[in-house]
Each structure stands twice: as C-alpha cells, then as structure tokens.
Structure 1
C-alpha cells in the first residue's frame, strides 16, 4: 500500500529552520546541489524505520504536519522550547499508542511528537 516516504518543511527562513531541527532532533541537513535552494534532511539510518525529507523556502502559506517519534517525550518537549519552538497542546496519552502533543516550529509549521509505548 502507498506510504509516506518523504516530507518537505516550508520555511520563511530556511537557515533558522535548519538550526532548529539540528538542535532539537540532531538531524543531519545538507544543501542540495540542484538548481534551486533545497536542503536534504536525514532523520536516521537507512536500516531504521522512518522517512527522510527536505527543508525548502516557503512560497505560499504552506503548512506541514507530520509526527516525529521520540524516545523521551519530556526530553524533546524541553528541547523544542529551548530551540525556539512552542508547544501547542498539552501532553496526551493515547492507550496502546503512546504520549503525544503538537508543537509549532520556528517557521510556524505544526507538527507532533510521540513517545510510542514500544520503540522499534
């Protein structure tokens, strides 16, 4: 069945967004060598579950929502705020799924973090 295999994060200030994601999640981000400004984002190793994506200059009022799995909800709650993000919802426990909440990054994008009950 079709799966999400890439994400794009639109940013008013791509350099600021790059710093946020590097600091908050330790992602590796490199400028693409193509004909327009586009930064490739590596979120983990290829043999780990998950997807990679990109950061790009925001052209319109684009928004993105994706869920980011973390090992410790509290640790990343603090990292997000320390890196310039803002938590938008209270921590919520979903039975059988884990602990989750939404946040806004430095570019106004709304995403979520989740501490799954079982990390694979």
Structure 2
C-alpha cells in the first residue's frame, strides 16, 4: 500500500522557517547540494518511525498540511508558540486517536500537532 515517505514545507523565507522548525522540534536541517535551493529535514533517527522531508521556496509549490506526532502535546505547544507559531484551535482529544490541534508556523503553513494515544498492548 502506498505511504507518505517525504514531505515538503513551502516557505516565503526559508531561513526563518528553518529557524522555527529547529527551535520548535529540534529537527536537523541541511542545505541540499543540488541545482536549486532546497533544505533537507531530518526529523529523527533512522531507526525511529516517521518520515523526513524538506523546506523549499514557496515558488516551488503551494501550501501543504502535515501531522506532527509528539510525546507531550503541551510541551511542544509551548515550544511552537515560543518559536513564533500560533494555534488555530484549542487542543481537543479524540478517543482512540489522541490530543491534537492545528497550528500555523511562521510561514503561514498549517499543520496538526498530535500526541497519539498509546497503542494497546
């Protein structure tokens, strides 16, 4: 079955977006050595579940929406706001899913912060 394996975050100011995601989530971001401006985003260790992606100039594409999983919603909500992001809704908890809320980053991109409920053993 096809799965999402990469994401791209468009940005009006890529350097500002890089600073936001490094501060808010501790992601490692490095400039790609290719023929156009593109920054590779490493969201975690290779043996951890999840995907990596990129930040690119908005001219290369339009807005996208990502789901970003965390182990402590409130801790990361505070980091998002401190880094310049803003929440578009109050946190809500959906049974069987987890705590979540949509937020906007410094580039106007909308994502969802989610603390998934633990998997049943």
Shorter-chain TM-score category?
over 0.9
Separation of aligned partners in 2, 1:84 and 1:43:
19
Separation of aligned partners in 2, 1:28 and 1:4:
20
TM, length-normalised to structure 2: 0.95
CA RMSD of aligned residues (A): 1.2
The aligned counterpart of 1:46 is 46
Separation of aligned partners in 2, 1:65 and 1:89:
15
Separation of aligned partners in 1, 2:87 and 2:6:
24
Partner SS for 2:114 = strand
Partner SS for 1:50 = coil
The aligned counterpart of 1:91 is 91
Partner SS for 1:63 = coil
1:78-100 CA-partner distances (Å, limit 9, x unpaired): 10000000100110101011100
The aligned counterpart of 2:35 is 35
> Post-superposition, which runs of at least 4 consecutive aligned residues in structure 1 deviate over 6 A?
none
The aligned counterpart of 2:7 is 7
Aligned length: 119
Relative to structure 1, is the Cα distance of residues 23 and 36 closer, same or farther in structure 2, using a 3 angstrom cutoff? same
Q: Please list every run of 5 or more consecutive structure 2 residues that lacks an aligned counterpart in the other structure.
A: none
